[in-house]
Amino acid sequence: MFLNKDAIAQNQKEIKLITLAPGHFHAALVQKNMYPEVSSDVHVYAPAGNDLDFHLQRIQGYNTRTDNATHWQEKVYTGNDYFEKMLADKAGNVVVIAGNNRIKADYLEKSIKAGFHVLADKPMIINEKDFDKLKRTFATAAQKNVLLYDIMTERYEITTMLQREFSRLPAAFGKLEKGTPENPAVTKESVHHFYKYVSGSVLTRPSWFMDVSQQGEGIVDVTTHLVDLIQWECFPEQIINYQQDIKINQARHWPTNMTLSQFKTITKTTGFPDYLKKDVVNDTLLKVFSNGEINYQIKGVHAKASVIWAYQAPEGGGDTHYSIMRGTKANLIIRQGAEQNYKPTLYIEPVNPTNNYEAELNKALTVMQKQYPGISLKQNSKGWEVEIPEKYKEGHEAHFGRVTEKYLQFLKQGKLPAWEVPNMIAKYYTTTQALKMATKNP
C-alpha cells in the first residue's frame, strides 16, 4: 500500500490538537491560523449545545473566509462521557482548554495525569481551594515530561513589549522605583466590555460567563493578565517565589449592574437561568462581581492591578489598557483613551530631566531600533511619544497565534523556560489570595 505525498506529510506532523469543552471564544482563536507543524485534524470533545455550536461556527468562518482561509477538519464527539472519552481515545497530544472555569482545574489535572500537553486559557484557577491542586498538576507535568502553559496574549501587544524593553535601558528609565501603597511603582488597569465584536460579529456570551462561580470574579480572571505583565516586565526572566516574594496589602471587588434586556442581548437567551438568581435584584438587575483591584508587593516593589467591566464601550472605543512603570529617570506610560483614539500609545515622561537626558534617551532609542526598526520619538509637552510603525500593531485576536507559536517552540525544545512555571504559580497565588481578601472585605 502506498500513501500519497499529502498523506505522508500529514502523518509526519507531530502536533495533533484536541479541543475540550470549548465554552469561550478563545478556544477558536487558537485556530484562527494554521501552523506548519500542526495536523489539520482537530478532535473536539464537548457536551452538545450552544457553546459547541458557536465554536464550530467560528472555525467554519475561518475555513471559509476569502483571505488566508484555514482548512481545519473538526472531528466532534458529544456524548455525556466526553471527558472520559477524550482521556481514553488519546486522539491527539495537545489539549486546548478554554471554557467554564469552575471545572478547569479538574480538566487540567486529569489531562496532565493522562500524559497530554495542555495549552490553557486563563485563568487556570479561580479560587484558593484549587491552588494546591494546580501546584500538584505542575509537579505531575514535570514527572510526565509534558508542558502545561497558559495563554498570556498581552505579552505580544507592541506598546507593552516596548515598555518592557525601555525599562531595561538605564539611560532612558533609570531603575524601577520601589513605590508605596499610595503611589505604586507599577500600576496596570484594564477596562473590558461584555458587549463586543469578535472576528467581525457581536460576541454571543454563554450565560455562565456572568456567573462568578463558573467564570470567576474579575479579580481572578482578567487580572491574571495584569499580574502576569507586572512579573514579566518588572522582573524579566527572573523566578518569582510566591512564598517569599509576594505580599498582598489590600484587595477589593465590586459589581457591574446588567439589566435583563442587556443580558438577553449578549446571551441570545430568554432570561436569567436559575444559577444566576442568587445575583439578581428585583428579578431584573444582575450584579456581576467582575471588577477588582489588588494592591500588593512583589520582590519589595509596590504594584497595583485593577480590572473594570462596563457593559458596552463608548462609540469608537473598545477594551482599553492603562499602565505606568515609574523609574528613577522617567515614567513609561501606556494610555488608550479618547485622546489616543482608543489605540494604546506609549509615552516616556522624564521625572527630573537633566541637561543630557535627551541625548541619553536617543542613545537608548538607537539600541531599541536594532530590535524594532522604524520606531521613533515625537516630543510633546511632558516628554516623548513613542511612534510605532503599523507593521507592529497586531490586534488582540492575532496574539493568540503568537502565543500558540511560542508554545509550539517550547514543545519542540521539550521544556519551558525555567522561570515560567514558578511564575505561573506565583501569579495564581496572587490572584486567588487577593480574592480571598476582597471577599472578606467587600
Q: Output the DSSP codes for 349-387.
A: EESS--TTHHHHHHHHHHHHHHHSTT-EEEE-SSSEEEE
Mean pLDDT of 215-241: 97
d(C-alpha 334, C-alpha 308), whole Å: 17
What is the average pLDDT value for the chain, to the nearest integer?
94
Mean pLDDT of 236-249: 98
Look at residue 7 in the predicted model and tell me its pLDDT.
38
Question: What are the C-alpha distances in Å from 415 to residues 18, 115, 419, 420?
Answer: 20, 15, 11, 10
Contacts of 154 (CB under 8 A, 6+ apart): 160, 225, 228, 229, 321, 399
Sign for the pseudo-dihedral over CA of 77, 124, 39, 11: negative
Measure Cα distances from 173 to 96, 291, 330, 362, 364 in Å.
39, 31, 5, 12, 9
The dihedrals phi and psi of 324, each to the nearest 5 degrees, come to -135, 135
d(CA 107, CA 85): 13
Does position 161 have pLDDT exceeding 70, yes or no?
Answer: yes
Which of the four pLDDT bands, split at 50, 70 and 90, describes residue 14?
A: confident
Q: How confident is the model at residue 203 (pLDDT cuts 50, 70, 90)?
A: confident
Entry field: residues in the chain: 442
Residue 442 has pLDDT above 60, yes or no: no
Q: What is the pLDDT of residues 43-94, one digit of tens each?
A: 999 999 999 999 999 999 999 999 999 999 999 999 999 999 999 999 999 9
91 in helix, strand or coil? Answer: coil
Q: Which residue has the cell 516623548?
A: 384
Q: Count Cα neighbours of 206 within 13 Å in the Cβ-side half-sphere.
A: 24
Percent of the chain with pLDDT strictly greater than 90: 88
Q: What is the pTM of this model?
A: 0.93
As a whole number of angstroms, the longest Cα–Cα distance in the chain is 78
Q: d(Cα 414, Cα 318) in Å, to the nearest integer?
A: 38
Give CA torsion, residues 164, 166, 169, 173, to 10 deg: -100
The lowest-confidence range among 6-15, 60-69, 201-210, 283-292 is 6-15
C-alpha cell at 428: 495564581
How many CB atoms sit inside 10 A of residue 208's CB?
20
In angstroms, the CA 109 to CA 136 distance is 8
Residue 359: pLDDT over 90: yes
At 199 the pLDDT is 73
In order of their start, the domains of the chain are: 14-150 (3.40.50.720), 155-399 (3.30.360)
- The per-residue pLDDT for 13 is 61
Residue 236 — very low, low, confident or very high, per pLDDT cuts 50/70/90? very high
Q: Which three cell numbers stand for residue 285?
A: 438587575
198: pLDDT strictly greater than 50: yes
